[in-house]
């Protein structure tokens, strides 16, 4: 009905304006609650797209001038939210593996035993059984799992199951034996072999750099080169389909990924998501030269596959009790985190990469880790000169009040993932106490201080679905819901700001705010239409909101 009325308006407009009509659009979206993320014009009714660009944003009457009744594709958003496409600023994105054991949200450890058994029965003797995303704080026991959970069902197969944060792994006795890990094996620098407090024997949990000791002795599954290529190709396409289904139009991958594979997918016309892919932070001139070559091949001026930032790790995670703290953990007073390098090494790497003009993003969870990287970034400004570097703290989860204003002062991006808050809040106060928890996931305080936030998911550590991040941003409540105002509610943000950090903020973090992240004339036509008006959605229903349309480069790549 609404489209019919619009067509009448089009004909009337054409009759009175004659040849003054603008060039017609390929796609017009009407009837939506349009959130532009553009501070100059935050809201609109309709959008016109020609080719891969937005050519007009405004009222339905204004946009009617761009409609050709014969050739323009019309979408009636019918009161649903229309917004810039989600830009995930931090996702470990890659092919979906059909053999991977998914353990997210498991509350009964017996489920892990059963899933491992089922995969063993589908596998060859000696074949690696792997999976992850378990979270012991979600178990009914709230206890770390041990090798006995899986040993009985996997006597002849190596099993490696990573914790949800990726910073710890549960392995079976088969793997411990293959790796030569015994009660006498010393903890490596930056790592921990968890041990039974009575016997001193390894429990099967390996933290941080101790995971580098893993040797599986796995039997290689024999596949032809063509079969392997087809399996990998299918995995990448499945991952891209999943991203499109969530309304995601851009992803920034921390660290390295397969440029060649994505080139092939783009050449085949099947790339449905813009990608930034970086490398590993280093001071080695030869490696920096190789990254420079990649930066030339995939320049910042590109719009599909671009060279991103150089990634490194300063510490571990809160869940694994390996985040760097100034004071010991409340529940483990003998520990205060595991630095992954000395401060001197950190500064050396940062100065070298910054001097070559690279953007840097460093994983920093604990307050001491964030303090160290801010110090290193500040030193780079002194030594190499001040520039618009937009270096990043990847996660910026727990800060000190004193360090919060330094992000804006130094131009450092807090690249944050809101779901970490609602995952970690279950155990944060137990681990670090109330006082330190006050400055955890401090989105509002950072924004108020002038920092430029960028939001993402940290997939596959957390789910890829950005709706969970929006829910976390505005509620700071458990996924199951709870009474009250949420955990440290003074750090909640509005839905409009959460969307901004997932779109324009993420684009700013990758130096693309001049052409992406807003619904504005001249910008890339990357648009997501949600299944309802999210601003009227009850908080307990936010995570159930879907993407109805995902539009990338002016083309519909997903329609629910």
> At 261, is the secondary structure helix, strand, or coil?
helix
The predicted structure's pLDDT at residue 20:
66
The rounded percent of the chain whose pLDDT value lies above 70 is 96
Angle between helices 419-437 and 466-475 (to 10 degrees): 30
Whether pLDDT at 93 is above 50: yes
Tell me: pLDDT of 4 over 70: no
Residue 99 reports pLDDT greater than 90: no
Judge whether residue 17 has pLDDT over 60.
no
- Collapse the DSSP code of 300 into the 3-class scheme (helix H, G, I; strand E, B; otherwise coil) and give the result: coil
- The DSSP secondary-structure symbol of 449 reads T
Mean pLDDT calculated for residue range 222-250? 91
Mean pLDDT computed over 71-87: 97
The domains of the chain are located at 101-213
Number of other CB atoms surrounding residue 307 within 10 Å: 23
- Tens of pLDDT along 32-52? 999 999 999 999 999 999 999
Q: For residue 3, name the pLDDT band (cuts at 50, 70, 90).
A: low
Q: If you search the block for the tokens 């105002």, which residue do you land on?
A: 485
CA distances from 540 to 16, 105, 417, 529, 545 (A): 49, 18, 19, 20, 10
443: closest CA among 479, 488, 485? 488
- Is pLDDT of 9 > 60? no
Note the maximum CA span of the chain.
89
- Give the chain's mean pLDDT: 94
How confident is residue 504, by pLDDT bands cut at 50, 70 and 90? very high
Confidence grade of residue 164 (pLDDT, cut at 50, 70, 90): confident
Quick check: 233 and 268 in contact, CB under 8 A?
no
What pLDDT is recorded for position 220? 84
Q: How far is CA 343 from CA 234, 265, 372, 504, 540, in A?
A: 42, 40, 7, 33, 43
Please give the Cα distance from 157 to 295 (Å, whole number): 42
Query: E strands of 366-493, at which residues?
Result: 392-395, 413-416, 454-455
Amino acid 221: pLDDT:
80
Closest by alpha carbon to 317, among 466, 161, 428, 453? 428
What is this structure's pTM? 0.83
Question: CATH assignment of 101-213, given 2.40.110.10, 3.10.310.70, 3.40.47.10, 3.90.1170.20?
Answer: 3.10.310.70
Placement of tokens 């509002």 in the chain: 444
pLDDT the model gives residue 16 = 42
User: Closest by alpha carbon to 261, among 253, 555, 361?
Assistant: 253
- Residue 364 is predicted with a pLDDT of 98
Summarised one tens digit per residue, pLDDT across range 307-355 is 999 999 999 999 889 999 999 999 999 999 999 999 999 999 999 999 9
- Rounded to whole angstroms, the Cα distance separating 73 from 472 reads 35
Res. 231 pLDDT band, cuts 50 70 90: confident
Residues contacting 506, CB < 8 A, separation 6+ = 87, 88, 89, 250, 252, 454, 455, 456, 517
User: Residue 415 pairs with which residues in a beta bridge?
Assistant: 394, 454
Q: Running DSSP on this structure, what letter comes out for residue 491?
A: G
Q: Is 121 exposed, middle or buried (0-12, 13-18, 19+ CB in 10 A)?
A: exposed
Say if residue 269 is preceded by a cis peptide, omega within 30 of 0.
no
What's the rounded mean pLDDT across residues 350-373?
Answer: 98
Which tens digits make up the pLDDT trace of 107-161?
Answer: 999 999 999 999 999 999 999 999 999 999 889 988 999 999 999 999 999 999 9
Q: Which string of b and e fits 420-435 if b means at least 16 CB within 10 Å?
A: bbbbbbebbbebbeee
Over residues 223-245, mean pLDDT = 90
Instruction: Work out the burial of residue 79: count CB atoms within 10 Å of its CB; fewer than 13 is exposed, 13-18 middle, 19 or more buried.
Output: exposed
* pLDDT of 288 higher than 70: yes
Lowest mean pLDDT among 5-9, 156-160, 161-165, 452-456: 5-9
């Amino acid at each position: 009905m609404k489209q019919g009325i619009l067509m009448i308006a089009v004909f009337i407009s054409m009759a009175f304006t004659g040849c003054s009509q603008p060039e017609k659009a390929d796609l017009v979206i009407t009837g939506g609650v349009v959130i532009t993320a553009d501070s100059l014009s935050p809201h609109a009714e309709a959008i016109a797209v020609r080719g891969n660009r937005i050519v007009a944003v405004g009222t339905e009457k204004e946009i009617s001038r761009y409609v050709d009744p014969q050739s323009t594709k019309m979408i009636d958003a019918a009161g649903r939210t229309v917004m810039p496409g989600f830009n995930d600023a931090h996702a470990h994105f890659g092919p979906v593996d059909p053999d991977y054991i998914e353990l997210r949200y498991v509350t009964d450890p017996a489920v892990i035993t059963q899933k491992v058994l089922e995969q063993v029965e589908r596998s060859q003797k000696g074949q690696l059984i792997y999976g992850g995303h378990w979270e012991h704080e979600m178990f009914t026991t709230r206890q770390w799992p041990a090798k006995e959970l899986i040993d009985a069902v996997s006597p002849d197969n190596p099993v490696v199951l990573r914790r949800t944060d990726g910073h710890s792994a549960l392995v079976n006795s088969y793997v411990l034996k293959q790796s030569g890990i015994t009660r006498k094996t010393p903890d490596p620098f930056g790592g921990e072999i968890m041990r039974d407090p009575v016997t001193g024997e390894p429990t099967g949990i390996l933290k941080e750099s101790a995971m580098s000791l893993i040797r599986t002795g796995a039997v290689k599954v024999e596949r032809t080169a063509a079969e392997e290529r087809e399996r990998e190709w299918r995995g990448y396409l499945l991952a891209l389909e999943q991203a499109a289904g969530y309304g995601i139009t851009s992803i920034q991958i921390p660290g390295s990924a397969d440029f060649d594979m994505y080139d092939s997918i783009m050449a085949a016309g099947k790339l449905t998501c813009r990608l930034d892919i970086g490398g590993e932070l280093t001071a080695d001139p030869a490696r920096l030269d190789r990254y420079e070559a990649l930066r030339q091949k995939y320049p910042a001026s590109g719009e599909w596959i671009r060279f991103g930032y150089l990634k490194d790790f300063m510490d571990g995670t809160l869940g694994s009790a390996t985040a760097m703290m100034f004071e010991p953990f409340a529940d483990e007073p003998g520990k205060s985190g595991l630095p992954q390098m000395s401060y001197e090494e950190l500064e050396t790497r940062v100065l070298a990469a910054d001097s070559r003009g690279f953007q840097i993003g460093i994983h920093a969870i604990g307050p001491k880790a964030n303090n160290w990287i801010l110090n290193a970034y500040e030193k780079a400004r002194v030594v190499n000169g001040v520039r618009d570097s937009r270096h990043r703290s990847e996660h910026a989860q727990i800060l000190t009040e004193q360090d919060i204003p330094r992000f804006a002062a130094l131009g450092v991006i807090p690249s944050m993932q809101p779901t970490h808050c609602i995952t970690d809040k279950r155990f944060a106060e137990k681990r670090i106490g109330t006082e330190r928890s006050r400055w955890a996931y401090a989105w509002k305080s950072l924004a108020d201080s002038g920092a430029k936030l960028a939001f993402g998911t940290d997939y596959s550590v957390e789910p890829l679905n950005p709706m969970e991040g929006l829910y976390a941003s505005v509620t700071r409540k458990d996924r199951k819901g709870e009474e009250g105002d949420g955990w440290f509610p003074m750090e909640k943000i509005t839905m409009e700001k959460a969307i901004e950090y997932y779109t324009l903020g993420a684009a700013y973090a990758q130096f693309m705010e001049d052409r992406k992240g807003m619904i504005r004339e001249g910008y890339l036509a990357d648009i997501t239409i949600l299944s309802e008006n999210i601003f009227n959605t009850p908080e307990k229903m936010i995570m159930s909101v879907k993407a109805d349309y995902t539009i990338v480069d002016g083309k519909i790549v997903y329609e629910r």
